[in-house]
Amino acid sequence: MAGSTFQTNPYDLYKLLEDCHRGSLQLPDFQRSWVWDEDRIKSLIASISRAFPVGALMTLDTGGEVNFKPRPVEGAPAEAKNVPPHSLLLDGQQRMTSLYQVALRGKVVETVTPKHKKVKRWFYIDIRKAMNPTVDREEAIIGVPEDRVIRTDFGREVALDLSTPEGEYEALMYPVSQVFDWDRWQDGFYEYWRDNDYKEMPETFRAFKRQVLESFKYYRVPVISLDRSTSKEAVCVVFEKVNTGGKPLDAFELVTAMYAADGHELRKDWYGDDEHKGRHRRFVDTLRPADSEAGIIANVSNTDFLQAISLFYTRERRREAERAGKVGKELPAVIGNRQALLNLPLAAYKQYEKQVEHGFVQAAKFLHMLHIYRIFDLPYQSQIVPLAAIIADIGEAWEHEANRTKLVRWYWNGVFGELYGSAVESRIARDFMEVPRWLQGGTEPSTVSETIFRADRLKTMRMRLSAAYKGINALLMKEGAQDFRSGQKFDHTVFFGENVDIHHIFPQDWCKKQDIKPAIYDSIINKTPLSFRTNRIIGGIAPSEYLAKLEKGDKQTPAIERERLDAYLRSHLIDPNILCSDNFEAFMVDRQKRLLGLIEQATGKTAYTGEAPEEGVDVSIDEESVEADMVLTL
């Protein structure tokens, strides 16, 4: 009888990383190079530091029927290339490469920011935050630039200097690059604080070592090892499973299972049955145009919905603790993360579900008010969660002019500050707490106070992947932009009836003939909302020519008086005289200033127009690797 061709064993993390360093554990050469984003690296470090599972690895012993060309893990020393590997890593490339680079290699890590900028980072653990049970461990993990100095005020002020061991000791920031070798750092730390007469510091570090650093030292990773007798067919199946897999077991599935024990069918609430329309279907149908399959909140997920409910539940727990006289660290946090969802009692779900659903429906109306009609044009899907929760909390008060004005301002700050792109759980919770207080006369929420929009950002916004790109399109329509041909404003009916989209003002074909680079003419500065028919008239000719066509008219389109046509152009923040002169450079300079004014008006914040460069260089989205696409070539 045939036996198993694999084994499952736990391995010490340190040994696995050492194997990567020496070259005894390598990658199949067809796996793409690794570039994992900064937030995922922080999350991985946080999980290891708490001894949480990060998933199993899968390896294939070499020397069998399946023979791949190997290559060392990214960042391994050159000598590793000369070592015949004992096994190849089939699943877990990004996790192992991340941990190897941040924890063992001892060199700065190349990564990508949430704004898709390539940067170099050193990672640290904030000892104070790591030892505080009320602080999410991910918030205790920070990345600093290559020179280990964090600067603010566009590089003029030093906020944190970790460029020397003394700076690390003073700030209680432990370098992740030394999690497996802490003796020397510990000696320096003790010496530093002994001179400074802080007797409690040695005990602080000892506790940190026990609770955090030893998690790395003793961490074991489950490894599924395919032996060398594994057939080609079996390896093919492995790759299929690794790359496509089944639906992951998410928080909704787990909560569904827990509620089922109490006799509640959460899945029926969401998906409905033959007799009742589920909540998901109701969201899909909310403000759905007659000729469309889905409305603006159709992509609200079941976990989004539970997250909003968990904000209410955890806030009530915090209020109960306050009423009981607890203060400071004794107070439970208001959160909506995965753990909060798993801890959400059925009673709390039932208490808040209708209120929260109403909040999402009202959020759809709010978005339509801002002329955001399609999911395609939605700046951030993630920002709907706090928006719906805030509206659910304040009820009809959101429609009062003063409140609505502030809520709109908060929304645009989130969009143009590009604050809801990644790692949003903490921000969602903060906004849920801070925005209602602001509406009642309190201080500005951090999403408003932290927003900085750079004038030169307009030049780099070229695709719908940018939230701010979509935001400008919506703002132009909200401020009364009129179609060049019909003069109609883009309300809900016109938007869908006329097939309105973002189009070039100086057409692409004309720009190409003038040898203007796509990186310039594809900027949002050269785009505006127009109907499909108007864009057909514009075609690929010079602005002066298509304006003349519009002014003259034809059998299908009546002539437009020049004065009226100029008014249409101005409604798009376009100077008619500059456009008519076909002066592309003057147009770009002038419209950038006008769009900047529009953003400043929406956010209530003055844009930064200085010359201090933003950190990093632009990197296209498809350069950000996810777990490698594996193609079996035999």
> Do 255 and 385 lie in a common domain?
yes
> Do 23 and 119 lie in a common domain?
no
Compute the average pLDDT of residues 17-38.
83
In a domain, 189, yes or no: yes
Q: Pick 470 or 232 by higher pLDDT.
A: 470
Going by C-alpha positions, the residue among 159, 117, 125, 129 that lies closest to residue 142 is 125
pLDDT at 335 over 70: yes
In a domain, 241, yes or no: no
Q: Pick 76 or 29 by higher pLDDT.
A: 76
Dihedral-angle region of residue 164 (phi above 0 means left; psi in -120 to 50 means alpha; beta otherwise)? beta
pLDDT at 627 over 50: no
pLDDT in tens, 433-483: 999 999 999 999 999 999 999 999 999 998 878 899 999 999 999 989 999
Q: What is the pLDDT, as a whole number, of residue 70?
A: 84
Q: Where are the alpha helices (DSSP H) in 531-625?
A: 532-538, 543-552, 562-570, 576-580, 584-603
SS3 state of residue 122? strand
Number of domains comprising the chain: 4
Going by C-alpha positions, the residue among 140, 116, 138 that lies closest to residue 423 is 138
Going by C-alpha positions, the residue among 299, 287, 279 that lies closest to residue 365 is 287
C-alpha–C-alpha distance, residues 322 and 328, integer Å: 9
Residue for token pair 């002020």: 157
Least confident of 29-38, 56-65, 93-102, 189-198: 29-38
Confidence tier at 304 by pLDDT (50, 70, 90): very high
Which uninterrupted H or E stretch holds 326? Answer: none
In a domain, 243, yes or no: no
Q: Token pair for residue 446?
A: 């951090």
Domain closes at, from 188, 212, 236 = 212
Q: What is the pLDDT, as a whole number, of residue 147?
A: 95
pLDDT in tens, 108-135: 999 998 888 899 999 999 999 999 999 9
Cα 608 off chain centre by: 23
pLDDT at 622 over 60: no
Q: What is the pLDDT, as a whole number, of residue 244?
A: 43
C-alpha–C-alpha distance, residues 267 and 264, integer Å: 9
Judge whether 105 and 75 are in contact, CB under 8 Å: yes
Side-chain-side CA neighbours of residue 585 (13 Å): 3
pLDDT at 279 over 70: yes
DSSP state of 454: B
Which uninterrupted H or E stretch holds 624? Answer: none
Torsion angle, alpha carbons of 621, 88, 28, 67, to 10: -160
Q: What is the pLDDT, as a whole number, of residue 358?
A: 98
pLDDT in tens, 378-424: 999 999 999 999 999 999 999 999 999 999 999 999 999 999 988 79
C-alpha–C-alpha distance, residues 176 and 104, integer Å: 9
The pLDDT mean for the chain works out to: 88
Domain closes at, from 403, 423, 449 = 449
> Do 392 and 302 lie in a common domain?
yes
User: How far is the first Cα of the chain from the last one, in angstroms, to the nearest whole number?
Assistant: 28
Q: What is the pLDDT, as a whole number, of residue 249?
A: 43
pLDDT in tens, 527-574: 999 988 888 989 999 999 999 999 998 878 889 999 999 999 999 999
Q: What is the pLDDT, as a whole number, of residue 408?
A: 98
| Angle CA 71–73–77, to nearest 5 | 90
Compute the Cα dihedral for 441, 446, 449, 452 and give only its sign. Answer: negative
Compute the average pLDDT of residues 515-534.
93
SS3 state of residue 594? helix
Q: What is the CA radius of gyration of the chain?
A: 28
Confidence tier at 242 by pLDDT (50, 70, 90): low
Q: Token pair for residue 486?
A: 């019909």
DSSP state of 172: T
Confidence tier at 241 by pLDDT (50, 70, 90): low
> Do 406 and 537 lie in a common domain?
no
> Do 415 and 325 lie in a common domain?
yes
DSSP state of 530: E
> Do 178 and 83 lie in a common domain?
no
In a domain, 339, yes or no: yes
pLDDT at 3 over 70: no
Q: Where are the alpha helices (DSSP H) in 244-377?
A: 251-260, 266-271, 279-285, 302-323, 338-342, 346-369
Going by C-alpha positions, the residue among 106, 115, 240, 270 that lies closest to residue 177 is 106
Q: What is the pLDDT, as a whole number, of residue 252?
A: 84
Cα 69 off chain centre by: 35
> Do 337 and 441 lie in a common domain?
yes
Q: What is the pLDDT, as a whole number, of residue 259?
A: 83
Judge whether 142 and 123 are in contact, CB under 8 Å: yes
Could you give the C-alpha distances from 44 to 213, 241, 380, 409, 446, in angstroms and in order?
14, 22, 25, 35, 26
Judge whether 470 and 379 are in contact, CB under 8 Å: yes
Domain closes at, from 449, 477, 499 = 449
C-alpha–C-alpha distance, residues 144 and 110, integer Å: 12
Residue 519 CB neighbours (<10 A): 11
pLDDT at 17 over 70: yes
Q: Which domain holds residue 155?
A: 113-212
> Do 344 and 359 lie in a common domain?
yes
Compute the average pLDDT of residues 318-324.
95
| 3-class DSSP string for 15-77 | HHHHHHHHCCEEEECCCCCCCCEHHHHHHHHHHHHCCCCCCCEEEEECCCCCCCCEECCCCCC
In a domain, 631, yes or no: no
In a domain, 36, yes or no: yes
pLDDT at 612 over 80: no
Q: What is the pLDDT, as a whole number, of residue 275?
A: 87
In a domain, 300, yes or no: yes
Confidence tier at 619 by pLDDT (50, 70, 90): low
> Do 71 and 207 lie in a common domain?
no
Q: Which amino acid is at 597?
A: G
Q: What is the pLDDT, as a whole number, of residue 236?
A: 53
In a domain, 633, yes or no: no
Q: Token pair for residue 576?
A: 């008619």
> Do 439 and 462 lie in a common domain?
no
Cα 196 off chain centre by: 42
DSSP state of 607: P
Judge whether 489 and 497 are in contact, CB under 8 Å: no
> Do 593 and 494 lie in a common domain?
yes
Residue 48 CB neighbours (<10 A): 24
Residue 303 CB neighbours (<10 A): 18
> Do 119 and 85 lie in a common domain?
no
